[in-house]
Structure 1
Amino acid sequence: MTALDLFDQINSAVLDLQGATLQTYGRSLRRLGQLLNHPDLFQINEGLTAGLNLEQFIEDGRKTGGSLVGSSVLQWPDDPKKQLGMQLLLVKHLAEDPQRAINLSHDFYYSGKKVISGIQTMTGQLIIPFVRDFKAYVRANGSTTVQLLAPPKSNKVFIVHGHDVAARESVARFLEKIGIDVVILHEQANQGRTIIEKIVANSDVGFAVVLLTPDDEGRSVGGDSLEPRARQNVLLELGYFIAKLGRGNVCALKKGRLEIPSDFAGVVWSVMDDNNGWKTELAKELKAADYPIDWNKVMG
């Protein structure tokens, strides 16, 4: 058992839901439901939902609708505690079968012809406010630090890279050699998504390797000379994965001479040297992050 803040994981599930597509929202919604059903929340949940009838609540809401699509309005209880309890029942109801989210958002959170738009509207108007208020309620009435079984470690590793194709391929082939599933963004299907949506959709990994290679040049205003820098997308994705996975699950490999962002100064990175010593360093980091490592494959 590992001591974790339950609401860190709930917030991560909601963040994933915010950036989800029609193909991925179900996974995030189910994860949110699993967290809300955690045994340490059982007593709190029982107290909030006692005496509430979700089916009747939804049926009463549907009766308010007219001929206009999306005109139905949910009739929330006036009592804040009962309202929070009904929100809890509703979110858990949706998580049990994500198809319900499509139907419910069409009836009560209609936002145009795109199905995902309705789900995103429902996330913003129902799920995010609920999580905020539920967190405050639990903190006032129970414990927020609970014991969670650590989720199974993903065998996937996301490679963040710039223009250095040779460096990217070298790291990818090494990881595949030692039995790791590699995720490289441009190799994944676009499905009409923006870049950040695509990153979020493919970030269900347990570890990220960030290649800091001197692909760009820049200087501060009034600076004397241009300095080699990593590409801006690499730095953005570095920050994203540190926030999502934690620093212990992100390894930065620095190749050549380049400027390191001031916010990242002091954080240890590994040098991607020509004698392949970086492979051992990367394997050590993966081992520390609970990835199974066969040292014969690393050294072979």
Structure 2
Amino acid sequence: MPNDLDIFTQINNAVLDLQGSSLQSYDRPLKMLGRLLQHPDLEHANKTLTEGLDLEAFLAKQDNEGGMVGSDSLDWPDSADEALGLTLLLIWKFAANPVDITHFGHTYFYSGSKIIASVHAVTKQMIIPFVRDYKTYVRNFGNSKPRLIMPTSNKVFIVHGHDDGALQSLARFLEKLKLEVIILKEQPNQGRTIIEKFEASADEVGYAVVLLTPDDVGSTAVASGQSQRARQNVIFELGYFAGKLARGRVCLLRKGDVEIPSDLFGVVYTEMDAADGWKAALVKELKAAKLDFDANRMWE
């Protein structure tokens, strides 16, 4: 296992690969995820989390009515730790035999006739929340080694679209506070792909500010009109940082009447108003995230 990446970074990368996988490739990141979750550094926490749990008994007691496709649901235990442990056992089961996730997804997370859609639904609705909660569990367990803990960083990543004015205004304000700003397009390529460059830059930061600016227009198939939307890369990077850094270390700045994606639960957002009231609101969020900066400089 590479020493330059901590375990949770590698777990996040495996989940990202699973999200973007095809029917021909989903097994590889799934197996990688299973291996990472059995790393020796996690052994003690895993043993405590899964002790006394019987996955096969849990699956056998599910009331699968066999009626309308997609009507079955899982009866999870009330205990959050038990549910977390059962999910861990499920992921190990899928990693050992990847085809199991397709049958499981078809039964409990049905998303249409395409098999890979069910795999992606399991990833989005079960595996991603699991990774978020599992990370918290391990870090609170008291047996973590230093490389399990992501270092505190005063670097702030700016996710942006095509509004260069909003980008420059935000970047100069953060620099005024003596925070180090990371803008992807300003980082050297070093022969890497865009996603490799993004992941490497994202690994260094302790906070992300996401600029939602009206760069695109779009609508649902049944909508009568179109609405202003942020660029697709902005929404992707927002989701990445919400999972990687946790919601308390991501702030949305919305400029204009931009549509807010419906699944952005719990992520703070602030209107980027012309009167610059967003600056005080952002400073408040940066303080709450315990970044080390001089808030008094905002008045200079």
Which interval holds the TM-score relative to the shorter structure?
0.5 to 0.7
Partner SS for 1:270: strand
TM-score, reference length from structure 1: 0.56
Superposition deviation, residue 128 in structure 1? 5.4
Which stretches in structure 2 are left out of the alignment for 5+ residues? 1-5, 17-27, 50-137
Corresponding position: 1:11 with 2:8 = yes
Partner of 1:138: 44
Give the Cα–Cα distance (whole angstroms) in 2 for the partners of residues 205 and 137 of structure 1. 28
Match of residue 176 from structure 2: 177
Cα distance change on mapping 1:230 and 1:223 into 2, 3 Å: same
- What is the CA–CA distance in structure 2 between the aligned matches of 1:266 and 1:292, rounded to whole Å? 24
Q: Is the 8 A contact 2:254 2:272 kept in 1?
A: yes
Q: Cα distance, 1:293 vs. partner?
A: 3.2
Task: Give distance in 1, aligned partners of 2:143 and 2:283.
Answer: 29
Amino acid at match of 1:169: Q
**How many angstroms does 1:146 deviate by?**
1.8
Count of matched residue pairs: 189
Q: Distance in 2 between matches of 1:125 and 1:140?
A: 18
1:189 — aligned with what? 188
1:71-106 CA distances to partner (integer Å, 9 max, x unpaired)?
xxxxxxxxxxxxxxxxxxxxxxxxxxxxxxxxxxxx
CA contact (8 A) 1:283 1:293 kept: no
Q: Which runs of 5+ in 1 are unaligned?
A: 1-8, 20-122
User: Take 1:138 and 1:147, find their aligned partners in 2: how far apart are those partners?
Assistant: 7
**In structure 1, C-alpha distance between the alignment counterparts of 2:7 and 2:278, rounded to whole Å:** 35
**Amino acid of the structure 2 residue aligned with 1:12:** T
| Partner amino acid, structure 1, of 2:251 | C
- Shift of the 296–232 alpha-carbon distance from structure 1 to 2, 3 Å rule, reads same
**Deviation at residue 275 of structure 1 after TM alignment:** 0.9
The two structures have a TM-score, normalised by structure 2, of 0.56
Contact 1:161-1:210 at 8 Å conserved across structures: yes
Partner of 1:101: none
Cα RMSD, aligned residues only: 2.9
Contact 1:155 1:205 in 2 (8 A): yes
**Structure 1 pair 226/126, CA: closer, same or farther in 2 (3 Å)?**
closer
1:146 counterpart letter in structure 2: G
Aligned-pair identity in percent equals 48
SS in 2 for 1:221: coil
- Secondary structure of the residue aligned to 1:202 is helix
Question: Over alpha carbons, which structure has the higher Rg?
Answer: 1
| Cα distance between partner residues in 1 of 2:8 and 2:266 | 28
Output the CA distance in 2 between the equivalents of 1:125 and 1:225. 40
How much does 1:134 deviate?
A: 3.8
Supply the distance in 1 between the matched residues of 2:165 and 2:280 (Cα, whole angstroms).
Answer: 19
Deviation at residue 295 of structure 1 after TM alignment:
2.8
1:254 lines up with 2:250 in the alignment: no
Verify the 8 A CA contact 1:157 1:208 in the aligned structure 2.
yes
Aligned to 2:272: 272
The letter for the 2-side match of 1:138 is H
Q: Residue 299 of structure 1 corresponds to which residue in structure 2?
A: 299
Relative to 1, partners in 2 of residues 1:222 and 1:142: Cα closer, same or farther, differing over 3 Å? closer
